[in-house]
Structure 1
């Protein structure tokens, strides 16, 4: 089942299997694999013409509403990463030290969290709160 999430082309603000950005991939994973609706933020990101550095405040706002920070990741948790000074990337922890993510211009991949290019950028692990979620 995971294979349908690997190789999705990177498309800024994309939210489907024809193309997705990092949050789009998280959105698809939670919706289609976990059966848990989360906001897509596609309209907000498109209307505001978000740049990569602008995703941080959106992710920070989202994590305050629906996510709990975890000391260590469990499968399905979101991994928040920075680029430079900004929280600007997110992926899904799969377990066994692996993350599913989409970071343009490359398509979505499964990578190892201990890869130096990822490990040094991790700013936190976040678990979706189970209470207060909208119904599907």
Structure 2
């Protein structure tokens, strides 16, 4: 986790949100739920929901992969991500984690171990796991 650059101050309202599987609100969110909430609150756009997969646990990867695949028609791949592009990451070789590009090379995401955080897309831990960047159609 890193300190928030000044231009990204808007992200601070999300930092205290606890991780909750299938959560979609300020009282708790999973990785997609955080993106869903930020799009709704900051852009006034409700993204397609992805609650069909159940838990975001890596043990549930087959259901999660099916959910991701079923939602891909709702999104278009983008080469140069702008703020609010979704970034999909591979974990254990599968695309199972998602974050929200927020600008200046940072992304916002959450997981069960740490809660919401800002990280750099170029950080070694994340840059080699990027599956792609997406925007809603």
Name which of 7, 12, 28 aligns with 1:19. Answer: 28
Please say if residues 36 and 47 of structure 2, whose CA atoms lie closer than 8 Å, have aligned partners that are also in contact.
yes
Q: Provide TM-score, normalisation by structure 2.
A: 0.83
Please say if residues 82 and 103 of structure 2, whose CA atoms lie closer than 8 Å, have aligned partners that are also in contact.
yes
Alpha-carbon deviation of 1:95? 1.1
Q: Deviations over 1:58-102 (max 9, x none)?
A: 1222122x1110112111100000101211000011111000001
State the alpha-carbon separation in 2 of the partners of residues 103 and 56 from structure 1. 17
Name which of 45, 54, 59 aligns with 2:53. Answer: 45
Q: Aligned pair count?
A: 125
The structure-2 alpha-carbon separation of the partners of 1:96 and 1:72, relative to structure 1 and needing over 3 Å to count, comes to same
2:130 is matched with 122
Please say if residues 81 and 124 of structure 1, whose CA atoms lie closer than 8 Å, have aligned partners that are also in contact.
yes
Which residues of structure 1 form unaligned runs of 5+?
130-136
Name which of 92, 110, 114 aligns with 1:106. Answer: 114
1:48-63 to structure 2, matched below 5 A, reads 51-52=57-58, 53=61, 54-63=63-72
Q: Provide TM-score, normalisation by structure 1.
A: 0.84
Name which of 2, 12, 37 aligns with 2:11. Answer: 2
1:132 is matched with none
CA RMSD of aligned residues (A): 1.5
